[in-house]
Structure 1
Amino acid sequence: MHIGLGLPIADPVALPEWARRAESAEFSTLGLLDRIVYDNPEPLVTLAMLAGTTSRIRLQTEVLIAPLRDPVLLAKQAATLDLLSGGRFALGLGVGGRDDDHEATGTDIRTRGRRLDEQLAIMRQQWSGAPFSDTCGPIGPAATEPDGPELLFGGFQPAAIDRVGRWGGGFLAAAAPSWAGRLFDLARRSWADHGRPGAPRIVAQVNAVLGPQPLVDQARTAILDYYEFSGRADHMADGLLVTATQIRSNIKQFEDLGADEIMLYCYGTDPDQIDRFATAVL
């Protein structure tokens, strides 16, 4: 069972320190979320910088909202990050659901699922090295693998989870253990239904904080603000894990469900949490 850290977004300048300390503590992965209309660092730019400050730890988006972006440019950025990080990058993708992000990017929220599938076809073609069209040649650079970076798909509906098998990626579940199991089963069924060998990589994500009460309060306030649009902000904040016992229990439950990795997503900005998490779970 691998343990990764989701990076806080409130203090981007501190993230290189987070990356170095997380790698030194032997966490498996650094994750970063995506928004457009929000005060967060752009994830691909930020992870590219963190790739240069680390040498071992994996990097992944959790999740990047692909329908907001041009697929050709996104494919080029992802291949570049994958190449320059030595194959340490996983491209976690989702469709999002916030009207303001789509307004700001001039995209249609009503067609975001179909657009993601169209984007995936374009990106896979680009990563294969094939010409873009009869009049336009290949677009490099080549990623470290012929199919491009590892893909992870976030989502809760069967149609979204079925992309795991259709496109050959892993599954990222931001869900409590009590109902994540059925999502994992859908991802595995999609994998089998599409004739994929082996099994998909299953990644769980939980919100966690370890530290004094002011830090816990800071994390809770950040969660409430981030999820305000959803109508479920209180529910998300109430699910925040605040003790080592709670975190270890969640890890054990996800391990029993067959997860390969759990990402402890941090909304508190104190980097000393890294040492506390490492003491608690590593």
Structure 2
Amino acid sequence: MTEVGLYFDLRNPPHREGSAARLHGFTLEMCEEADRLGAASLWFSEHHLFDDGYLTQPLTFAAAAAARTRNARLGTAILIAPLHSPVDVAEQAALVDLISGGRLDLGIGTGYRTAEFELYNVTDRARYSRTDDMVRQLRQLWSADGVTPLPVQDPIPVWLGYHGAQGARRAGLLGAPLLTPNHESWPDYRAGLIEAGHDPTTGRMGGGIQAWVTEDPERDWPLVAPYIAYQVDSYRRHMVHGTDQPLPAPVDPARLVTREPRGPLSYFWFGTPEDIAERIRGLTEGAPVTTVYLWASVGGMPEAMVAEHIRVVTTRLAPLLR
């Protein structure tokens, strides 16, 4: 059984109508609606210095969502570990867990953008080992001699947003759940679990699916395609921000929807609930994937499109995978 959740980044690009304040309020309304419709989880991302107002503080927003929801788990996907103090993360995460009654999943990763490390005045050197260390420190900080108050969960699950064979093995060595839904990572993840003496049956995987689900693909493709293009182009443009690398060429969304996943920006599926469910089954087959999540909104979509997508994901796609 694979549970299905939704993913939010709070982009407010110039082509979107409405203020940033309205967007934040509307997103909380959509979290509440998704929770009412049975979404298994709600996830919040982190980036800095994006020109479209990308969410910068996922735990702060998760606390607000915790107060507006009752059942959905709340996750960070991901919090950029090397930018933050382990003590600060431990305390903030504990607070979200308390407000939510024990519903937090803390996803952390290394980060990759030069501009973000410069903004926080920290080095990007050894960022993988520093992220590994945060897992160990958080577990210690949530013990009896750590921070107060303690979270509800003992401990809060700390997922590692690692990609590739080496990242999967690192997560396994730490006995941490792996935040990728691709079954190709399972052998290396499993090997790491066994190498470190962890029971491989305790392994858990999950993660984001780049996809848009619609009841009527022919009708909706001309409406959705420009937002997919904006979203992927924006990531690619900000990836080289602060470096001497040239701006990447614009993507063709029609080609993205036909590609198989080789990384988060290599594809963006588009199709009916049945089509997307089948693709997700193929991507996760044979791996201990317990949860996946899809974008609620892509590239600053109008509110009506976001609300409809949340309805289709929660009431049409989720039952097919559950």
Whether contact under 8 Å (1:222, 1:267) holds in the other structure is: no
Under a length normalisation based on structure 2, what TM-score does the superposition of the two structures give?
Answer: 0.76
Question: CA 1:204 to 1:232, structure 2 compared with 1: closer, same or farther past 3 Å?
Answer: farther
Question: CA 1:116 to 1:195, structure 2 compared with 1: closer, same or farther past 3 Å?
Answer: same
For the residues of structure 2 that align with 1:255 and 1:173, how far apart are their CA atoms? Answer: 9
User: Paired residue for 1:143?
Assistant: 151
SS at match of 1:262: strand
User: Paired residue for 2:206?
Assistant: 203
Which of 168, 181, 195 aligns to 1:193? It is 195
Whether contact under 8 Å (2:183, 2:285) holds in the other structure is: no
For the residues of structure 2 that align with 1:156 and 1:238, how far apart are their CA atoms? Answer: 13
The code of the aligned residue for 2:138 comes to: M
Name the Cα RMSD after superposition.
2.2
For the residues of structure 2 that align with 1:96 and 1:117, how far apart are their CA atoms? Answer: 13
SS at match of 2:270: coil
The code of the aligned residue for 2:40 comes to: S
The code of the aligned residue for 2:54 comes to: N
Could you tell me how far 1:4 is from its partner in structure 2? 1.1
For the residues of structure 2 that align with 1:185 and 1:209, how far apart are their CA atoms? Answer: 29
Question: CA 1:25 to 1:221, structure 2 compared with 1: closer, same or farther past 3 Å?
Answer: same
Under a length normalisation based on structure 1, what TM-score does the superposition of the two structures give?
Answer: 0.86
Which of 269, 277, 280 aligns to 1:241? It is 269
User: Paired residue for 1:15?
Assistant: 27
Question: CA 1:237 to 1:191, structure 2 compared with 1: closer, same or farther past 3 Å?
Answer: closer
Matched, 1:275 2:311: yes
Aligned residue runs from structure 1 range 85-124, under 5 A = 85-124=100-139
Could you tell me how far 1:121 is from its partner in structure 2? 3.0
Identical columns (%):
22
For the residues of structure 1 that align with 2:123 and 2:292, how far apart are their CA atoms? Answer: 32
User: Paired residue for 1:177?
Assistant: none
User: Paired residue for 2:291?
Assistant: 261
The code of the aligned residue for 1:195 comes to: G
Higher mean C-alpha deviation, range 223-232 or range 95-104: 223-232
Question: CA 1:169 to 1:216, structure 2 compared with 1: closer, same or farther past 3 Å?
Answer: same
Which of 9, 21, 36 aligns to 2:48? It is 36
Aligned residue runs from structure 1 range 24-103, under 5 A = 24-38=36-50, 39-41=53-55, 42-103=57-118
Which of 150, 154, 166 aligns to 2:173? It is 166
SS at match of 2:202: coil
